[in-house]
Structure 1
């Protein structure tokens, strides 16, 4: 019998499978002639004409990116949709004339992910273990968390998965870390996703593994969990704020109909630096507002560039430029940021020291979450045997220093940055079946 775990992530998703014994393995996801371990959690919509009329076509994952890049600005690109799950304000959105709720949007990603997994691994079992963060993005309390879980459960049902069991993503990462462990440890798991940073302090190793197999879960091993809705997307937003929006009209003025000079509205730039909101700037109302501002702006070139980003649907291009800069800064003291759009180009040098200043509020919030977890559990930093860092932001030097300063560099371990949660979820599924 096979056991399957699905990690539906803000940025990337993955599927893993475990047999009755042995390690889990990632399910290869074939798209055309390419094989992927992870599946970008994105969608692209485009109107298509045929002899029957106009239809709304959609793609998910790598195929969505390919269709988007071939579209020459037509259509709608949607990313980081997981960030809406706990939002009570988001009940639906109109995409090219068709209304979508959050559950159908998520299900489109999950349905394609499931189909590609089944192409490689055969039909998935009836019950699947699914990852969930300790705290969802925008989680404002128990009601929001329950709503997010209900929405995610319904999205899986729409995708053809009717029985799921949730497991905390940092606990799943602990299963992955523990799979190669031959001695017992008290470990802090730090899982950095696109939308959330999640932490779990628990006991792992042969003794804990045997206990979990007897009990069917890890509840007895967990000393405490914590999380905060700050992660990779939050760090990206600071680069957009400091390197992009100042070149797109933020801080400029325009003349109103009665002759007054008014400041450029801030809210379009707030949308722009949040990936899950960016694609929803492309509305008739927003375009009309910006066109009016363009006529009397003190800097029409920048406003026109902003309109171009929105109308041409350049969100993914912007995301790719920002992500590249962030990755380079993890290994080098500076990088050249470059974002090219029709008729304009934004180029600037980013120093790692400046980036670390920009993300200081986010870093302090993450540090506060870790410190709170340690205080609640009554465990000292010295008592922790290992700290396992996973997820893309674990590469960021200031994040790594946060942990080395508290626990010591020698205790830090990394691995499976984009896949450890999926691998662990499959192992959790096997444990739960016993």
Structure 2
């Protein structure tokens, strides 16, 4: 049995060793593997997956994906003619493959962000299920190699809400995709636990008395808040429903902060906020499309041929065409992930440094953008306000205030986030947990409790 944090930014797996959870090394990736995938062609993902499914699943999968497998075979023949390897890459290897040739192949980061999206067609849902299954298959293989045994039972973390727009309908869609994918790759028993609750379980292991704990989990894709009654007596109970006083959650997390920083901190160097020759402000919608890597529809619009023609005209109409031409270059070479990744790396660097130079010479040889913590705070003010609202909602629903705030999630490492949280809780102690490992450890504890 394992605890499996299939996260928006990273995936991690935990097992119990005695009374303590241990996060496993996943091959060369270490304890955390980035939640991304690269394929030389989108069509071959289904074929790669089919070849790695348990034997009992292969025939059923073949019947369900007959047309997709045939399309994949055609793509494989083309790749073979061009002497291009047909293997999929995961984690940092996937990012490296994408950055080597951004306009070739198929790269997706944080597919968990899309699972609750509205308006998905059946073939899109099948594609996301296959992408998730391929990533889970890779993690399961690495896990079993580390343990030297087969793993068939798992507890997977889930946010309170995958997508704020459709509530429970989005949650059902996302959980169905995750469940089908997990069972397809060989997990026989699959359960879910709220990520902030799981993080709270890990904190609870160190408590000596009953305490009202507000868990604030600021992850890559969502922020989730749970107010729980915790303590040594309650930890021994299997039914923790009565201890959960309130929940709130929304799709606002590290990815949204990266996008906001890319838009407001970097897009001005691409012409955002500049003028047309007529003196009017330049249209902003294409800039939002360019960086919205977690919105399928906006990215499709940005890379459409019609938008390419629009941007060419925009360059001609711009008072500073050299800036807008950078946006056109971004569109022609499919560099959205490249730019948002640069913003993400800048954000990470600002954890340790007050300012950072970000170079984008692959877009323009002279392009270097300076970012500092104040830029980050201004760019993310809307997202920070949404997080403040979620915190207030959780406390209001519970009808009582927390005695301690437990903060986890990789995004919470930022000094800007720390300062923001201190402002929200001036008179309440804040405890910072393992930014990346608290959820995995809590899922692992819960797996032992329900499967033992």
One of 192, 207, 217 as aligned partner of 2:233 = 207
From the superposition, tell whether residues 119 and 175 of structure 1 become closer, same or farther in structure 2 (CA, over 3 Å): same
| 1:6 and 2:28 correspond | no
The structure with the greater share of residues assigned to strand is: 1
Q: Distance in 1 between matches of 2:137 and 2:332?
A: 29
Q: CA deviation at 1:181?
A: 3.3
**Among residues 6, 24, 27, which one is paired with 1:27 in the alignment?**
24
| Residue aligning to 1:76 | 106
- Corresponding residue for residue 43 of structure 1: 37
Relative to the length of structure 1, the TM-score reads 0.84
Cα distance, 1:90 vs structure 2? 3.1
Q: Is the 8 A contact 1:244 1:346 kept in 2?
A: no
CA RMSD of aligned residues (A): 3.1
Could you list the per-position Cα deviations for residues 352-391 of structure 1 after superposition, in whole angstroms to 9, with x for gaps in the alignment?
23432332222222112111211111112xxx33211111
What secondary structure sits across from 2:388 in the alignment? helix
1:279-316 deviation per Cα after TM superposition (whole angstroms, max 9, x unaligned)? 65445554454445556655443343223323434344
1:53 and 1:67 map into 2 onto residues whose CA distance is 16
Aligned equivalent of 1:323:
344
SS in 2 for 1:417: coil
Greater percentage in helix: 2
Match among 374, 377, 382 for residue 398 of structure 2: 377
Q: Which runs of 5+ in 2 are unaligned?
A: 42-77
Shift of 1:37: 0.8
Judge which range, 286-295 or 396-405, deviates more: 286-295
CA distance in 2, matches of 1:355, 1:232: 12
1:353 maps to: 374
Q: Contact 1:29–1:120 at 8 Å: present in 2 too?
A: yes
Secondary structure of the 2:348 match is helix
How far 1:162 sits from its partner (Å)?
Answer: 4.1
Q: After TM superposition, give the deviation of residue 25 of structure 1 in Å.
A: 0.6
Secondary structure, aligned partner of 1:250: coil
Residue 64 of structure 2 is matched in structure 1 by none
Partner of 1:341: 362
Residue pair 1:45, 1:57 contacting (<8 A) in 2 also: yes
Match of 1:389 in 2: 407
Change (3 A) 1:292 1:192: same
2:265–2:376 contact (8 Å) kept in structure 1: no
Counterparts of 2:269 and 2:90, CA distance in 1:
31
Cα displacement string for residues 132-181 of structure 1 (whole angstroms, at most 9, x for unaligned residues): 00111344222222112112222223333343111000011012222333
Alignment partner of 1:163 out of 176, 182, 189: 189
2:448 match? 430
Kindly provide the CA deviation profile for residues 380-417 of structure 1, in whole angstroms up to 9, marking residues without a partner as x. 2xxx3321111122123343344434444771111221
SS in 1 for 2:40: strand
Aligned counterpart, 1:151: 177
